[in-house]
A and B are shown apart, each in its own frame.
Chain A
Amino acid sequence: MSALRDLCGLPETLIAHTMIARILELISSEPYRSLLYLVGICAFVAANAAYLVWVERKGAGRFQRRPGPDEAGPWGLLQPPADGIKLLSKQLLVPPGADAILFRAAPLMVMAPPLVCLAVIPFGDFVLARNVNIGLLMVFSFGSINVMALMLGGWASRNKYAIISAARVVSQNVAYEIPMLLVVITLLMVTGTMNLQEIIVQQAGGFWNWNILRGIWDFSGGGWGHIGGNLLAPVTFLIFYICMLAETNRAPFDMAEAESELVAGAFTEYGGMGFGVFFMAEYANIVVGCSLATLLFLGGWQSPVGIVPASWGLFGTLLGVGFFLAKMYFLVFSVVWIRWTFPRTQFYGLLNLSWKILIPVSLFTLLLTSVLLKLPRLF
């Protein structure tokens, strides 16, 4: 309890009798805390999924010098609820001959993993649902369910476009999982922990200490390539980012939903909210992917300049959450930016990029990092 008072940063005499203290006490006790995070994460995912659709459409408009959705509410802000109501009012059809159970389960399976992943993603220095020691592993293991869900959705639809899309999704995700995990292993060798909160704490001090730059110059006295050991850290970030685009089936790697070739790919037979859930899950997955990129490479909730003093208490935490969200949403914006800049790659181009460029480069960075980490011990 006293720890909580310290976190709030208020004088003890003031906090002892205030309403805020009692509320904070209540929500930090166990059943309420879990419930709060459950509701909070569901709300966060739902709000993001709905409003990133709006951001995407608005962004697409601006990139093409159109205003984007403009009619429903101010700046089209009521567009997502309007779309949701329209989708909810539609009948859910299961095509004859389709595998009804898998067909219905696929949208749920694609939506559930991002919800689970957010449970271990730290938003602030104590805004974290569960501090799991193998948080990184958990995010990746649940993240790959996404692939299976798309594959099942495509396979259960009994539709030739859907099944082609399912095959593409599997080969694409297998190809991109390898460089992504190699890059993450490179990072893990440097951090030495899978606890996401600890990974962030290691990056404290300023943007030069973030993992994206730490390998190049260690400002804590190590010099060139000392502690990070990874001279190619910006390149590994780039590989991670490209793989994240491919894993979330975003343009220019949206082979799963190549609308000019495959109608709507794995989603062809889905209508109403079944399709809507797939659509929202795409954005939820982007949020998880961008959060992961932020906390692995861009210092999570750490301030870009210096350290937020602990005496700032609750305000400092909120500032940290703000930094995290700012970095994360910048990455989300860059995802939208990329989608409306580049045309879709062809499938062999996609696989060539992974097998001929990304995997060799990530293997090279892995070797380089392991050599550089052992090198200081020789001298």
Chain B
Amino acid sequence: MNLVTETISGFWTLITGLRITIKEFFKPTITVHYPRQTLTMPKRYRGHIELKWNEETGRANCTACGICAKACPSACIVLDGLKPEGEKKKTVTDYQLNYTLCSLCKLCIEACPFDAIQHSGRYNLASVPNPWNDMDLVQRYKDQVTRVGKTPFVPEKPAAAAPAADQNAQP
């Protein structure tokens, strides 16, 4: 008798399983067709860092103070800045990130007093040759600003002033 009840209840569990799978069968698929569709990354996703800029003026927040470079435990940030004519603060002219050394610890972002850098949402980073050990974040800033129809502001280096700027900017 025990065998009979066991067989019947066991069979019933199989029916339950079949019922669950057929319900899934008629639900819509949840696949993202990757090369053609991509997910938008959540806000807290840590991609490589990028320069933040003012939505209205299109100017980068960065003043090239170098605190981020000092804060970085992996020494993957090298940056440079210049004081434009008639302004008190410097503006970033060169921001090199060696992303292959970066551990995404966020210390640079937390150290920044001007709220000038943030994590980007980029994740499609596999490529040959590897461009990630010498990323030009100023170029990225220029591209982003141009894309929304504003003019990026990066002061041109005067030929004579170049050595002086170098001294100030080294971390």
Contact = CB atoms under 8 A, between A and B. Distances in A.
A67 B17 contact: no
B7 A61 contact: no
A63 B14 contact: no
A341 B27 contact: no
B88 interface: no
Given A62-B25, A64-B24, A341 B17 contact: yes
A224 interface: no
Interface in A335-365: 337-338, 340-342, 356-357
Contacts of A337: 18, 21-22, 25
A342 B29 contact: no
Interface in B28-81: 28-31, 33
Interface residues of B, number: 16
A31 to B, nearest CB: 46
Contacts of B30: 65
A341 B21 contact: yes
A70 B33 contact: yes
Contacts of B22: 337
Contact of B7 (A64, A341, A357): A357
A66 B25 contact: no
A158 to B, nearest CB: 39
Contacts of B29: 61-62, 65-67
A340 B25 CA distance: 10
Given A342-B14, A357-B7, A63 B21 contact: yes
Contact of A67 (B3, B14, B31): B31
Nearest to B22: A337
B25 to A, nearest CB: 5
A340 B21 CA distance: 8
Contacts of A341: 17-18, 20-21
A356 B27 CA distance: 38
A59 B14 CA distance: 19
A311 B88 CA distance: 100
Contacts of A64: 24
Nearest to A71: B33
Contacts of B33: 67, 70
Interface string A253-275: 00000000000000000000000
Interface in A15-74: 59, 61-67, 70
A339 B87 CA distance: 72
A357 B3 CA distance: 9
A67 B31 CA distance: 7
A65 B27 contact: yes
A61 B24 CA distance: 10
B9 to A, nearest CB: 13
Contact of A66 (B18, B20, B31): B31
A338 B28 CA distance: 20
A64 B28 CA distance: 10
Interface string A62-106: 111111001000000000000000000000000000000000000
A342 B17 contact: yes
Nearest to B14: A342
Interface of B: 3, 7, 14, 17-18, 20-22, 24-25, 27-31, 33
Given A65-B24, A65-B31, A340-B21, 20 more contacts: A62-B24, A62-B25, A63-B21, A63-B24, A64-B24, A65-B28, A65-B29, A65-B30, A66-B29, A67-B31, A70-B33, A337-B18, A337-B21, A337-B22, A337-B25, A338-B18, A341-B17, A341-B20, A341-B21, A342-B14
15 contacts: A61-B29, A62-B24, A62-B25, A62-B29, A63-B25, A65-B24, A65-B29, A65-B30, A65-B31, A67-B31, A337-B25, A338-B18, A340-B21, A341-B20, A342-B14
